[in-house]
């Protein structure tokens, strides 16, 4: 879910005609259109965007900011609410949702072969590099693990353990209470990469450092 949080927002006047907007760089393409539309409708208000590498960094910046921000927009409302409510913010608007995407380029290994039916087989190949973002840096890291875990049940195959090596310190265990995923100190191993930021996730896919990345 995408979450929009507004701090102070009202009619612009000569003393206050600037809007400080902070958001992760992962939604930069969407924000460019939103900001352009806002400025078209409110020409007297100047928008100042502040971009972060992920929701974790955004929460930290908001907590440590002396002047604060007017609008906060993130693609992860859970960690955002846990980190900032009710100390910094008291209300929010959830205005959209998203889906997990396995991103790659035409130069990625086996790009000409991958389909929605065999993606887990492709990612298990020894010559294929797969990446997620660090779960502590961005919630899509956790969502990536959950997606691969759910694939175990959906396909009735060991998708999770085939793609994610045990040496990465990421585990999936079945208990009487359900499936438990653990990633206390996740790290890269072999062809499985844990990247520090969403920026790296995107750039490494573009430049061919990794073949496939969960986004």
How much is the pLDDT for 8? Answer: 43
Q: Which H or E element spans position 73?
A: strand 71-74
Report the helix count and the strand count for the chain, using DSSP H and E: 7, 11
CA torsion through residues 198, 204, 206, 211, sign: negative
**CB-facing half-sphere around the CA of 32: CA atoms within 13 A:** 4
| The residue count for the chain | 215
How much is the pLDDT for 2? Answer: 42
How much is the pLDDT for 91? Answer: 86
Residue 176 pLDDT greater than 50, yes or no: yes
Q: For 32-63, how does the pLDDT look when each residue is reduced to its tens digit (9 = 90+)?
A: 999 999 999 999 999 999 999 888 888 899 99
How much is the pLDDT for 136? Answer: 87
User: Three-state SS for 198?
Assistant: helix
What is the rounded CA–CA span in Å between residue 71 and residue 93? Answer: 11
What does the block give as tokens for 78? 């859970």
213 touches 104 (CB < 8 A): yes
Number of CB atoms found within 10 A of residue 181's CB: 16
Residue 171 pLDDT greater than 50, yes or no: yes
131 touches 201 (CB < 8 A): yes
Choose from 26-30, 43-47, 68-72 the range with maximum mean pLDDT. Answer: 43-47
How much is the pLDDT for 15? Answer: 46
How much is the pLDDT for 90? Answer: 86
Q: For 81-121, how does the pLDDT look when each residue is reduced to its tens digit (9 = 90+)?
A: 888 888 888 888 888 777 899 999 999 999 999 999 999 99
What does the block give as tokens for 96? 């959209």
Domains detected in the chain: 2-96 (3.40.190.10), 102-214 (3.40.190.10)
Average pLDDT, rounded, for the chain = 88
Q: State the maximum Cα–Cα separation within the chain, in Å, rounded to a whole number.
A: 63
């Amino acid at each position: 879910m995408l979450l929009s949080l507004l701090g102070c927002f009202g009619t612009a006047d000569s003393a206050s005609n600037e809007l400080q907007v902070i958001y992760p760089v992962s939604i930069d393409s969407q924000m460019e259109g939103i900001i352009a539309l806002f400025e078209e409708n409110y020409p007297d208000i100047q928008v100042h965007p502040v971009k972060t590498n992920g929701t974790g960094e955004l929460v930290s910046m908001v907590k440590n900011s002396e002047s604060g921000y007017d609008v906060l927009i993130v693609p992860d409302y859970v960690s955002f609410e846990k980190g900032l409510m009710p100390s910094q913010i008291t209300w929010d608007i959830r205005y959209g949702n998203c889906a997990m995407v396995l991103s790659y380029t035409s130069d990625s290994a086996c790009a000409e072969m991958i389909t929605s039916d065999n993606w887990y087989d492709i990612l298990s190949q020894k010559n294929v590099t797969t990446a997620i973002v660090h779960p502590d840096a961005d919630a899509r890291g956790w969502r990536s693990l959950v997606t691969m875990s759910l694939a175990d049940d959906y396909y009735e195959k060991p998708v999770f353990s085939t793609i994610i090596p045990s040496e990465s310190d990421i585990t999936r265990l079945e208990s009487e209470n359900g499936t438990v995923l653990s990633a206390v100190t996740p790290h890269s191993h072999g062809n499985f990469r844990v990247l520090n930021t969403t920026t790296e996730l995107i750039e490494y896919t573009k430049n061919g450092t990794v073949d496939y990345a969960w986004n």
